Structure 1
Amino acid sequence: MKTITACTMDCGDACSLLVDDEKRTVRGNPKHPFTKGFCCKKGGRYFERLDADERVTEPLVRRGGGFAPASWDEALGLVADKLDAARAVPESILHVHGHGYRGILGMASTHFFERLGSSTTYGCVCDDTGIEACLRDFGALHHNDPEDILNSDRVVNWGRDLTRSSVHQLALLKRARKNGTEVLSISPGGDGTPEFSDVNVVIRPGTDRFLAAAVLKLFLEAGDLNPWVLTRTANWPALRGLVDGLKFRELCAACEVPPADAEMVYEWYADRGNVATVIGWGLQRHVFGGENVRFINAVAMVSGNVGVRGGGAYFNISSARNFGSWAHLIEGGVEPGERRRLLLQDLGAELRRADPPVRFAWIDGHNVINQVPDSLAVADALAAPFTVVVDGFMNDTAMRADVILPPALMFERLDVLGSCVHNYVNLCAPAVAPRDQARSDFEVLADLGSRLREPVRLPDQEACLREGLKHSNVSLDELRENGFAKVNHPFVAFENMVFGHLDGLYRFPEALHSEPERDPDYPLQLLTVVRGEFLHSQIPESEQRGVPLVWISKANPAYSVLDLSADVYLTTGLGAMQVRVETLDGLHPRAVLMRRGGWMKYGHGANVIIRPMNTDMAFGTAYYSQTCRLENR
């Protein structure tokens, strides 16, 4: 039987899917205007995850040095007792929730622990830095409709590997190219951009703001400025004064892009016709990641390519922008208020110095030990509190739990979700029965809340979905009939250059920070980039055998001195891990590229040797500013 459902994984495409329970197949919904009948490997192979032999499908309780199966009644009774004891000091409870599960009902744990007054986390391991940059510039988080890229004369893809991160945006770009649109891609290399680009520019990782500033410098020198565009900005004199004081060749040297290539990028923006700018999610993962995004936005703005068809700057939109909250329907607990917050990307240190200490931790939708920097410190710190992990696999975080609760996974549970790329809302209808004893997160929390001495009672799922959809004017009945619905947002964002700030004007960045000097002991830069086959740490254990692989250029200074027939170690100031080394054409000579998400229990977890560093905005995580070296021992 085929069911119309949707992908809830942490991906902007948010595909509408047709799932056949009997044949165990998944394909894109051909009636969905964005999905258009196909999906990526990660969604298409999802039954491999549902049916995996290693999947945890019954509650497990730590006993002695290992785990033993338990009934739901026993497991939740134990959790309720521990949670009741911790409620006397609400700050001693910690909730950690990630984007491994999202949607209207996916907010259940967030609302539940808010009612307990628990500690929570702040900071981001994903895209908040770029979001904050766009909010500072545009005053609101919007971009042109994805299909508007078909109206572009040219596209500057500034750092996004569409072959691994958004197959539907790639399909749109390929359609545009067939219609004559040209594509220029800027990145450190080692990605799939040559597949869909007419021209590629290789840049030093994390220095995109200098190339953008060089392009702005050329606009100033050419006097190629539209006066009306500048009237739509609040602080043009500040940016002009900043750029006037910069030297073009020094900016090119800072980003290690030849002046001729910088001039070419300028010409792409300055030529007749409209230019769309697609901004990658990796260039924000540097210490000055927000500044990178802001200077790229500034190029799009100064060139007159904002608020017009075929133009725009595409970073992302909020996948929750079409939904309202249902938290007010919860009965019991405390009214939402100020809560203690621990910095997510330095969670190990935060837990060690927390006062009062954390006594109870609930982790769901997040393999947090694996995904945040200094993973060993987080693992050590989580040994102290009573820790509950809601997960279907014995990953790095589940291994540190006292109780593991098996959730129903995608296709096994009901939800409604949006996208951070397109404007459709999708119904994620149950297409298969939950495996064995797995239960939806919502049902688990509803059961747990009813067991507490002072109960916290969740409303029924139907009421939550209907309340959450009120903001979008989409009905649950419509979603059940069609599987999806479009929410009306402007096709062109910021049309006529009217922006989201109170005065309607755009804001430019007013500072350009230098890149830190290279450390001679760690002269290379580690880039832990997205995978094509698996999402983040959702990697089968069978795929993580042996020594992990990294790639470098033959021009990398380490290549000429390494003995690749001997053991090779990737070393940072935090530690070392054994790796295999292969070469890759087109990669920046100082970059060391590694696919993210490997588990540290197999020696594949790069976050073990990445130290916690904040980006310049929104407490993002500067993974890609980690310096390193490759060596034999």
Structure 2
Amino acid sequence: MPIITACTMDCGDACSLLVDPDARTVRGNPKHPFTKGFCCKKGGRYFERLDADERITTPLTKINGRFVEATWDEAMGLIARRLDAARQHPETILHIHGHGYRGVLAKASSILFQALGASTTRGALCDNTGITASIMDFGALDHNDPEDILCASRIVNWGRDLSRCSVHQQALTARARKQGTEVLTISPGGDGAAEFSDMTIRVRPGTDRFLAAAVIKLFLEAGDLNPWVLTRTANWPALRGLIDGRTFHDLCRACDVTAQDAETVYDWYADPGNVATLLGWGLQRHVFGGENVRFINAVAMLSGNVGISGGGAYYNISSGRNLGTWTHLVQGGHPCKTRRALLLNDLGAELRRADPPVDFVWIDGHNVVNQVPDCLAAAEAMQRPFVVVVDGFMHDTAMLADVILPPAFMFEREDVLGSFVHNCVNHCAAAVPPRGLCRPDFDIVTELGSRLAEPIILPDAETCLTEGLKQSGIALDELREHGFVKVGHPRVAFSGMVFAHPDGLYRFPEHLSPEPRRDQDHPLQLLTLVRGESLHSQIPEADQAGFPTVWIAKDCPAFAALDPARDAYLVTPAGTMRVEVQIAPGLHPDTVIMRRGGWMKYGHNANVIIEPRMTDMGEGCAYYSQPCRLENR
């Protein structure tokens, strides 16, 4: 009989799933209001990950440079001794936790190391820049209910790859189109968006703020702004001054969009009817990514499409907003109010200059060495401390560990989690027993805390789950019975244009920064975009044979210069890697696409040659501002 469980991977769809443990099949829960009976192929094929031959299912310790199997008692005893020694100077302990595993119990390691006063990380590798931008605009992170998009007259998909990052938002968009809603996609291209759109407009990557500013310029020139909307804003004169100081044609030139296309975007927002705006989860991965998000939000606001049904700007909600914490139930430890935080975006350099140096590192839910820019520097810096990695595969981070602890994966452990797209809290039930000697992360962390010379005692899992649900008033038994509960939030965010700032008013951006000067030796721009088949670095090793593929446009300047009979190389100021080159129709000619997450040990990781760059807000990582070129050697 199928068991109701849920996906805990780093995806906003947060699907409720029906798992048949005997047939080892997965399908979407038809009763879930967002999942609606289907899921992506990443979730549908998850048993391939659970059953993979290369999965690590017993603790491993490194002796004389080689991994050997160990018992849990041996591995945990070794870790506890090393952690006790480092605990005399808590800042020499570093905890790195990622979103590879999310949930109420997934917070256990963060809570334990907080109680130890350990160092942590700051900055973000994904969406924090856009989150910060949205909070600056609206005062809080919120958007309309996902299904409210069906009430839109038109949808502007500004940069979201619906074919790879959210199959359920793609399905909602398809339903809207069947109802007669038109869809306009704005992106650098190469994403298959034409299949889901009535019209596409190509923009130079990273310059979306200029296109948005050009649209605002047209609103000004037409005298087409609703005076009441302006009364709901706190700083309209500042934005108007920015726009007045630039010509429409200069703004179009900055984003490489024709005047006609910019006018088309204006028409989509200015014509009668409600317009919903989807913001892509890559817009923020540029040096001025925060401005990109803020100017697009400003278009939605000025056109009167915020705070209404069928409108809204969809970026993110917090996946934890319907859940509480259980930190206060922990016994023992001496948490510090001011913990040392190392910048994740430049992890190698941060570890090298850390004073006092880091002696002990615990990494869970994160193939961090693979994911950060300049990952060779991070790998080198990890050679010094004692490193514990909680993971089930010998990826780039695990290879550097002194101890590898094999966790139970989803379907093998219980947890409760939310979504950063919808408002359902899902129950992730244990549908099958953990493979081999694998253990749930919560059990691993609980035992570690109890083994310390000065123990830190965590509550039992049942107590943590119950406490985490109190905020939303959900009973754990009810959640276990139904598999999910939808938490009540207004269907329309910021209804009546009342915003979450103390004065209730919207905030416009007050800066429009020029693009960084282009590197003549590296005239192209590298975008490391999401995959359709795998999530980030959760890629089967067998799929990483040969050389990685990059995609360019046929009118890319590099295409004519490349000799297909010779080896092709992707080159940045940070290094060179061998690649195979293919053509992507409709892609902007200055763009090189490479799918993210490939492993260093197979020569598939672009982060080897991506330089650490900071975004303009939220301490984000500007992966997509990496200049590059293609050449034969």
TM-score by length of 1: 1.00
CA distance in 2, matches of 1:451, 1:191: 50
Q: CA deviation at 1:195?
A: 1.2
> For residues 30-70 of structure 1, what are the alpha-carbon distances to aligned partners after superposition, in whole Å with 9 as ceiling and x for unaligned?
11011000000000000000000000000000011210000
Q: Specify the SS of the correspondent of 2:559.
A: coil
What is the match of residue 543 of structure 2? Answer: 543
CA distance in 2, matches of 1:302, 1:472: 34
CA distance in 2, matches of 1:242, 1:61: 59
Deviating 4+ runs (over 3 angstroms):
none
What amino acid sits opposite 1:558 in the alignment? Answer: A
- Written as runs of structure 1 = structure 2, the 5 A alignment for 1:560-575 is 560-575=560-575
What amino acid sits opposite 2:348 in the alignment? Answer: G
What amino acid sits opposite 2:138 in the alignment? Answer: F
What is the match of residue 115 of structure 2? Answer: 115
- Gaps of at least 5 residues in structure 1 are none
What is the match of residue 95 of structure 2? Answer: 95
Q: CA deviation at 1:604?
A: 0.1
What is the match of residue 617 of structure 1? Answer: 617
- Written as runs of structure 1 = structure 2, the 5 A alignment for 1:99-498 is 99-498=99-498
Q: CA deviation at 1:335?
A: 3.4
Q: CA deviation at 1:434?
A: 0.2
Q: CA deviation at 1:183?
A: 0.3
What is the match of residue 8 of structure 2? Answer: 8
What amino acid sits opposite 2:293 in the alignment? Answer: V
CA distance in 1, matches of 2:301, 2:95: 40
CA distance in 2, matches of 1:309, 1:192: 28
Q: Specify the SS of the correspondent of 1:214.
A: helix
Q: CA deviation at 1:323?
A: 1.0
Q: CA deviation at 1:564?
A: 1.8
What amino acid sits opposite 1:471 in the alignment? Answer: Q
CA distance in 1, matches of 2:205, 2:565: 28
1:40 maps to 2:47:
no
Q: CA deviation at 1:428?
A: 0.2
CA distance in 2, matches of 1:481, 1:413: 16
CA distance in 1, matches of 2:3, 2:448: 30
Q: Specify the SS of the correspondent of 1:620.
A: coil
What amino acid sits opposite 1:602 in the alignment? Answer: Y
> For residues 208-243 of structure 1, what are the alpha-carbon distances to aligned partners after superposition, in whole Å with 9 as ceiling and x for unaligned?
000000000000000001000000000011111111
What is the match of residue 517 of structure 2? Answer: 517
Q: Specify the SS of the correspondent of 1:356.
A: coil
TM-score by length of 2: 1.00
Q: CA deviation at 1:516?
A: 1.1
What amino acid sits opposite 1:205 in the alignment? Answer: P
Q: Specify the SS of the correspondent of 2:560.
A: coil
What amino acid sits opposite 1:608 in the alignment? Answer: V
> For residues 418-458 of structure 1, what are the alpha-carbon distances to aligned partners after superposition, in whole Å with 9 as ceiling and x for unaligned?
00000100000000000000000100011111111000111
CA distance in 2, matches of 1:536, 1:399: 18
CA distance in 2, matches of 1:57, 1:40: 26
What amino acid sits opposite 1:399 in the alignment? Answer: M
> For residues 104-142 of structure 1, what are the alpha-carbon distances to aligned partners after superposition, in whole Å with 9 as ceiling and x for unaligned?
001000000000000000000010000000000000111
What amino acid sits opposite 2:200 in the alignment? Answer: N
Q: Specify the SS of the correspondent of 1:491.
A: coil
> For residues 72-100 of structure 1, what are the alpha-carbon distances to aligned partners after superposition, in whole Å with 9 as ceiling and x for unaligned?
00000000000000000000000000000
CA distance in 1, matches of 2:584, 2:173: 25
Q: CA deviation at 1:192?
A: 2.3
> For residues 575-619 of structure 1, what are the alpha-carbon distances to aligned partners after superposition, in whole Å with 9 as ceiling and x for unaligned?
000000011110000100000000010000100000100000010
Q: Specify the SS of the correspondent of 1:287.
A: coil
Q: CA deviation at 1:531?
A: 0.3
What is the match of residue 62 of structure 2? Answer: 62
> For residues 355-389 of structure 1, what are the alpha-carbon distances to aligned partners after superposition, in whole Å with 9 as ceiling and x for unaligned?
00000000000000000000100000000000000
What is the match of residue 628 of structure 2? Answer: 628
> For residues 497-538 of structure 1, what are the alpha-carbon distances to aligned partners after superposition, in whole Å with 9 as ceiling and x for unaligned?
000000000000011000012111000000000000000000
Q: CA deviation at 1:473?
A: 1.2
Q: Specify the SS of the correspondent of 1:184.
A: strand
CA distance in 2, matches of 1:447, 1:325: 20
CA distance in 1, matches of 2:302, 2:449: 54
What amino acid sits opposite 1:524 in the alignment? Answer: L
CA distance in 2, matches of 1:528, 1:198: 26
Q: Specify the SS of the correspondent of 2:555.
A: coil
CA distance in 1, matches of 2:375, 2:604: 12
Q: Specify the SS of the correspondent of 1:163.
A: coil
What amino acid sits opposite 1:122 in the alignment? Answer: R
CA distance in 2, matches of 1:617, 1:117: 27
Q: Specify the SS of the correspondent of 1:309.
A: coil
CA distance in 2, matches of 1:472, 1:128: 24
Q: CA deviation at 1:477?
A: 1.2
Q: CA deviation at 1:163?
A: 0.7
What amino acid sits opposite 2:122 in the alignment? Answer: Y
> For residues 244-265 of structure 1, what are the alpha-carbon distances to aligned partners after superposition, in whole Å with 9 as ceiling and x for unaligned?
1110000000000011000000
Q: Specify the SS of the correspondent of 1:616.
A: coil
- Gaps of at least 5 residues in structure 2 are none
CA distance in 2, matches of 1:491, 1:475: 23
What amino acid sits opposite 2:561 in the alignment? Answer: V
CA distance in 2, matches of 1:86, 1:557: 54
CA distance in 2, matches of 1:358, 1:598: 27
Q: Specify the SS of the correspondent of 1:26.
A: strand
What amino acid sits opposite 2:419 in the alignment? Answer: S
CA distance in 1, matches of 2:315, 2:584: 28
Structure 1 vs Structure 2 CA RMSD: 0.5
Q: Specify the SS of the correspondent of 1:477.
A: helix
Q: CA deviation at 1:341?
A: 0.3
Q: CA deviation at 1:336?
A: 4.6
What amino acid sits opposite 1:170 in the alignment? Answer: Q
Q: Specify the SS of the correspondent of 1:558.
A: helix
Q: Specify the SS of the correspondent of 1:560.
A: helix
CA distance in 1, matches of 2:127, 2:169: 18
What amino acid sits opposite 1:352 in the alignment? Answer: R
What amino acid sits opposite 2:263 in the alignment? Answer: E
CA distance in 1, matches of 2:345, 2:63: 30
CA distance in 2, matches of 1:211, 1:159: 13
